[in-house]
Amino acid sequence: MSIIARRILNMEESATLKMANLAWELKDQGKDVISLSLGEPDFNTPQFVKDAAIEAIHNDFTHYPPVPGYKDVRQSICEKFKRDNGLEFTPEQIVISTGAKHSLMNICLALVNPGEEVILPAPYWVSYHAMASFAEAKIVEIKTGIENDFKITPEQLEEALTENSKLFIFSNPCNPSGSVYSKDELIALAQVFEKYPKCYIVSDEIYEHINFDDECFSIGTVESIKDRVITVNGVAKGFAMTGWRIGYLGASKEVASACTKLQGQFTSGANTIAQKATAAAVQADPKKIEEMKQTFLKRRDLVIELLKSIEGLGVNIPKGAFYVFPDVSSYLGKSVNGQTIKTADDLCMYLLEDGLVATTSGESFGCPQNIRISYANSEEQLKEAIKRLKNSLAKLS
Ligand code: PMP
Ligand code: GLU
């Protein structure tokens, strides 16, 4: 019998990190692997952000910070929320954590009692499922598909919600589908939430700046439900700051202080230098990162065009983030060298072994017919990777 606790034994390993680790291992063995598995911008952190961090070190911001974060940094986050999203918060309603992942885990542990329902529109980001399970939630998935651009309808939401529903968690723009809900679509969902006053809504807007059509509408601005919306964001994606590990949330004072209490026992305040760098990032005009967004847009168009030339793949046009989520069902059940590819997991392993391209299976995102391709990579690598995918897929019959 294992000495490891059941809560860890029962926990799924992060599928995104698992594939990324496999790709790193193969690279270490000298294999020419192209990794399209990890959702990480391939840009470096902007200079003005790095300068703010260096200044913080020189100014001795090296002591324990307040648990929810420095007040001035929380104030900057309030101003960012107002400027970019029309959300009104005071610093008491903001909690800064060690990545948006940490913010999300704080929310799940602070709000969900065992047996309460957490509603996840699928595809969902892998860790939502693991976090909700860890909080012993009853998970209710709402299925979507490529035919409705991976978005749920108000009718589906109405069918899923009950008196026992505690949290609804979604990302907008969505990881992994890249779909973005319009303002009207979100208002229609909010009208359903109005009927379920015990249900909190977690809006994960970490990809807000990588949004190719309109501005990203925040559901937390809808007056009738705004007190129950917890808006999560971070600097990892928009500012290429994945390694700095800063995320934050804006919520009611009650929810923010519960998250602070939890964080005070586990991790304390987030890294001081990274907090000061975050203040510089969120204070900056989003136009400063416009070039990154335009690069992602060009890559999206390239990847879509190349993927469309592969027979049998169903491809939607993502409106944000940096992922495509093709439907690979026509390849499932096919074989190569006596090996049958039964699932999207099998397909991803085959593409890694045969084509040396790392992707992530849709199974852990709640969509077993799909695989996720991250296009946060150079055009040259993307072209080569999709050529390899095409060759490997063509061998299946
Ligand atoms: N939410 C979504 C939708 C993500 O894709 C990620 C991946 N980084 C996170 C949260 C976590 O972000 P962070 O790196 O700030 O923990
Ligand atoms: N969020 C990114 C992804 O989905 C990074 C990996 C992770 O944090 O799980 O690939």
DSSP string, 254-285: HHHHHHHHHHHHHT-S--HHHHHHHHHHHHS-
Q: Is 242 domain-assigned?
A: yes
> Which residue's alpha carbon is nearest to atom 4 within ligand 2?
39
Q: Which atom belonging to ligand 2 lies closest to the Cα atom of 37? A: 10
Give the pLDDT score at 12.
Answer: 86
Q: Which residues contact 24 (CB under 8 A, 6 or more apart)?
A: 35
Residues 179 and 51 in one domain: yes
Residue 38 CB–ligand 2 contact under 6 Å:
yes
Residues 184 and 144 in one domain: yes
Which of 258, 285, 312 terminates a domain? The answer is 285
Q: Is 1 domain-assigned?
A: no
Least confident of 13-27, 115-129, 249-263: 13-27
Give dist(CA 12, CA 62) in Å, integer: 35
Note the ligand closest to the C-alpha atom of 360.
Answer: 2
Give dist(CA 68, CA 83) in Å, integer: 22
Residues 89 and 157 in one domain: yes
**Mean pLDDT score of the chain:** 96
Q: Is 140 domain-assigned?
A: yes
Give dist(CA 40, CA 55) in Å, integer: 26
Residues 334 and 190 in one domain: no
From residue 242, give the alpha-carbon distance in Å to each of 71, 80, 120, 292, 325.
23, 19, 24, 15, 22
**Residue length of the chain:** 397
Amino acid identity, position 205: E
Give the pLDDT score at 39.
Answer: 84
Residues 153 and 94 in one domain: yes
Mutate to test the pocket of ligand 2, among 22, 38, 207 (most ligand atoms within 8 A of CB): 38
Note the ligand closest to the C-alpha atom of 14.
Answer: 2
pLDDT at 136 over 90: yes
Q: What is the pLDDT of residues 187-239, one digit of tens each?
A: 999 999 999 999 999 999 999 999 998 778 999 999 999 999 999 999 999 99
Residues 176 and 298 in one domain: no
Centre of ligand 2 to C-alpha 46, Å, is 21
Host domain of residue 364: 6-44+289-394
Residue 138, domain CATH: 3.40.640.10
In the chain, the number of structural domains is 2
Ligand 1 site residues (CB inside 6 A) read 39, 99-101, 125, 171, 175, 204, 206, 234, 236, 242, 247
